[in-house]
């Protein structure tokens, strides 16, 4: 998969630099072409000769007249199809976020149209610092890929998030980048997933059995189809997919507010509501734990806002996709929802059948739009998600 790929590896000055020769060797084994650019600080940690030996090419150092003569920085910026900054220090991330071009590597990053991926490595407190997180958010908004660092013990003796990923983990992420297809390139997709929780008191809530698996798989499939993806999710046990902007919410109201905020701030092309949103919430959430001093207890519930129907009412509005989880007469209820909520497409699944639907790793979906339908037969949710994204992309491109 990496055969012939042109990867420019930019090294900045962090102790994790010692892992990079191994990464270069493994990338070369997989057929990638590697050129290395090192900042002055990177050369304090590891020598250019080491990187030259493993990459098989001269290493580019900060505006060195000799190498600049052979191939200049603009040529390097054009040559690469991926620029990977590893390790990326907090300082270099700040430079990237604010457009500085005061050395060879930052100049190349400004002069390229290639995808830039950043693999940060730093002390856990520096990683957590608000300014670092703000800078990373700026990069995400500009569609940089962030290879999130790992948690664990650090060279400085502390423990926490900020360790450079291992070579094989970095390679896996690079492979995801190269396998990405482009049907949704340049499009922004907003997805809701998981179950919401409606508090009765400080310790109890009403929720449902949705695991979020289908929504997370759809978010990943949309990202791999080239879209910028925002995933708004209720609490789940899942890890959000890589390269997806992730917002965690609690209740239906919070999910509604988060969705509306994103729709105001960004041009969203496609909205996919996979969340199992509570339809009702307790009229009151008690401040103190409710005591069991009654034999029968009545809880009054009120309707929550229907997020999907409200998104479909907007003008202009995105292409709107809903989900229907039914226990019977799937087609009838799905079609009536398509109509009532003014959706462009609805994906329906029958719940209550073993090994599909809620909390399962597999699913079966029936997909309906105004003048057609298709069944996606029993398969892993990741596979179903890919097929569904293809259908959504095609319908979106035909009708919008
Ligand atoms: O009407 P019903 O809840 O069956 O519709 C399911 C679809 O509506 C799903 O796509 C779900 O995400 C969405 N929904 C919503 N807000 C609600 C209830 C459901 O977005 N309050």
337 alpha carbon – ligand 1 mean position (Å): 9
Q: Span 188-399: which CATH code? A: 3.40.50.10300
Structure confidence at residue 67 as a pLDDT band (50, 70, 90): low
User: pTM, whole model, 2 decimals?
Assistant: 0.79
Same topology between domain 6-179 and domain 188-399: yes
**What atom in ligand 1 is closest to the CA of residue 326?**
4
Closest Cα to atom 4 of ligand 1: 324
pLDDT of residue 139: 94
Residue position matching structure tokens 């226990």: 327
Of the listed ranges 200-204, 294-298, 357-361, the one predicted with least confidence: 357-361
Of the listed ranges 171-185, 258-272, 322-336, the one predicted with least confidence: 171-185
341 alpha carbon – ligand 1 mean position (Å): 9
pLDDT of residue 89: 98
Structure confidence at residue 353 as a pLDDT band (50, 70, 90): confident
Given a cut of 90, is residue 100 above it in pLDDT?
yes
Of the listed ranges 5-9, 13-17, 54-58, 137-141, the one predicted with least confidence: 137-141
pLDDT of residue 211: 93
Catalytic residue numbers read 156
Residues 24-61: pLDDT tens digits? Answer: 999 999 999 999 999 999 999 999 999 999 999 999 99
Given a cut of 70, is residue 179 above it in pLDDT?
yes
Given a cut of 90, is residue 326 above it in pLDDT?
no
What is the mean predicted confidence (pLDDT) over 17-22? 97
Residues contacting ligand 1 via CB (< 6 Å): 192, 252, 273-275, 277, 279, 304, 306-308, 322-324, 337
What is the mean predicted confidence (pLDDT) over 203-219? 96
Given a cut of 80, is residue 65 above it in pLDDT?
no
Every domain of the chain and the residues it spans: 6-179, 188-399
What is the mean predicted confidence (pLDDT) over 258-269? 96
pLDDT of residue 358: 74
- What's the mean pLDDT when you consider all of the chain? 94
Q: Span 6-179: which CATH code? A: 3.40.50.1950
Ligand 1 pocket mutation, candidates 263, 273, 347, 365, criterion most atoms within 8 A of CB: 273
How large a percentage of the chain has pLDDT more than 90? 85
307 alpha carbon – ligand 1 mean position (Å): 7
pLDDT of residue 64: 67
């Amino acid at each position: 998969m990496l055969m012939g790929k042109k990867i420019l590896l930019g090294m900045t000055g962090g102790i994790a630099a010692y892992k990079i020769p191994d990464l270069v060797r493994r990338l070369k084994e997989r057929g990638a072409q590697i050129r290395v650019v090192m900042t002055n600080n990177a050369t304090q940690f590891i020598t250019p000769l080491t990187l030259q030996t493993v990459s098989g090419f001269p290493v580019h150092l900060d505006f060195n007249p000799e190498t600049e003569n052979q191939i200049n920085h603009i040529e390097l910026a054009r040559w690469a199809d991926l620029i990977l900054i590893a390790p990326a220090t907090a300082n270099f991330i700040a430079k990237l976020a604010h457009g500085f071009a005061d050395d060879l590597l930052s100049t190349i990053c400004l002069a390229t149209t290639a995808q830039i991926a950043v693999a940060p490595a730093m002390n856990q407190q520096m990683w957590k610092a608000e300014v670092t997180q703000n800078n990373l958010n700026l990069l995400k908004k500009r569609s940089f890929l962030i290879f999130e660092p790992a948690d664990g013990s650090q060279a400085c003796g502390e423990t926490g998030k900020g360790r450079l990923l291992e070579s094989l983990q970095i390679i896996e992420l690079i492979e995801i980048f190269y396998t990405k297809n482009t049907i949704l390139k340049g499009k922004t997709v907003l997805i809701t997933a998981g179950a919401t929780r409606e508090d009765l008191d400080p310790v109890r809530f009403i929720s449902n059995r949705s695991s979020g698996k289908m929504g997370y798989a759809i978010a990943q499939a949309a990202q791999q189809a080239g879209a910028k993806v925002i995933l708004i999710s209720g609490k789940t046990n899942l890890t959000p997919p890589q390269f997806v902007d992730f917002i965690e919410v609690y209740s239906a109201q919070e999910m509604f507010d988060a969705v509306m905020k994103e729709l105001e701030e960004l041009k969203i092309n496609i909205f996919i509501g996979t969340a199992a949103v509570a339809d009702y919430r307790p009229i009151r959430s008690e401040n103190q734990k409710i005591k069991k001093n009654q034999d029968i207890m009545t809880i009054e519930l009120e309707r929550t806002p229907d997020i999907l129907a409200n998104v479909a009412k907007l003008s202009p509005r995105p292409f709107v996709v809903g989900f229907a989880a039914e226990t019977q007469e799937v087609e009838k209820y799905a079609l009536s929802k398509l109509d009532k909520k003014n959706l462009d497409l609805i994906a329906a699944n029958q719940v209550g059948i073993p090994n599909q639907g809620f909390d399962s790793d597999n699913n079966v979906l029936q997909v309906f739009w105004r003048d057609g339908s298709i069944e996606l037969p029993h398969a892993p949710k990741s596979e179903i998600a890919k097929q569904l994204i293809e259908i959504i992309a095609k319908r979106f491109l035909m009708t919008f």
